[in-house]
Amino acid sequence: MLYIETPECILCALESRMQELKKLGVNDINAYTRITMHISSLIPRGRTPLFIESFELVTKILGNDDPHASEKRELEDTASLIISNIIKDAGNDIIRYFEIAAAANSVDVPMRDYQFDINDFVNKLLEEAVWLNTSRRN
């Protein structure tokens, strides 16, 4: 029985990990084969292990615990520049801070069909959150 409800998750994980290896300069075909086989073995365990454990293998192949450090630094630098706007927007509203944190956490640099744009990210960071199957005050 396949635990992953959306087959596209499998393709997304595979494509994302392949793009990561390519972007980070891996040319060894064995690394790509290793990732493919590992992803295949993770499918029955579900989406979360699929993405987490395949990323852990990427870090082992690269010998780098944080292959996206430069992107994270760019986001941290941007956050430092806009923190006053965030504080002004949220004031004393703790729920608003959680909404902003959730929006900031939505960045997933290597995801399929996703092109990160720092300006778009900043512009959307302070947009009103959409609450699914709950309300803001539950």
Domain containing residue 52? 8-62
Closest to 103 (Cα-Cα) out of 122, 81, 83? 122
Of the two residues 78 and 116, the one the predictor is more confident about is 78
Say if residue 110's pLDDT is above 80. no
Q: Mark whether 15 and 50 lie in a shared domain.
A: yes
Q: Mark whether 117 and 74 lie in a shared domain.
A: yes
Output the CA angle 79-64-8, nearest 5 degrees.
75
Q: What is the mean pLDDT of the chain?
A: 83
The Cα–Cα gap between 84 and 110 comes to 29
Whether 38 maps to a domain, the answer reads yes
**pLDDT (0 to 100) of residue 47:** 86
Q: Is 61 exposed, middle or buried (0-12, 13-18, 19+ CB in 10 A)?
A: buried
Say if residue 27's pLDDT is above 90. yes
**pLDDT (0 to 100) of residue 114:** 67
Q: Coil, helix or strand for 67?
A: coil
Whether 132 maps to a domain, the answer reads no
Say if residue 97's pLDDT is above 80. yes
The Cα–Cα gap between 126 and 77 comes to 17
Q: Domain ends where: 43, 62, 81?
A: 62
Residue reference for tokens 């941290």: 76
Q: Mark whether 74 and 57 lie in a shared domain.
A: no
Whether 27 maps to a domain, the answer reads yes
Contacts of 18 (CB under 8 A, 6+ apart): 32, 35
Of the two residues 122 and 73, the one the predictor is more confident about is 73
Say if residue 17's pLDDT is above 60. yes
Whether 3 maps to a domain, the answer reads no
pLDDT in tens, 30-87: 999 999 999 999 988 888 899 999 999 999 999 999 988 888 888 888 888 888 888 8
The Cα–Cα gap between 118 and 107 comes to 10
Q: Mark whether 95 and 118 lie in a shared domain.
A: yes
Whether 41 maps to a domain, the answer reads yes
pTM listed for this prediction: 0.66
Number of domains composing the chain: 2
**pLDDT (0 to 100) of residue 26:** 95
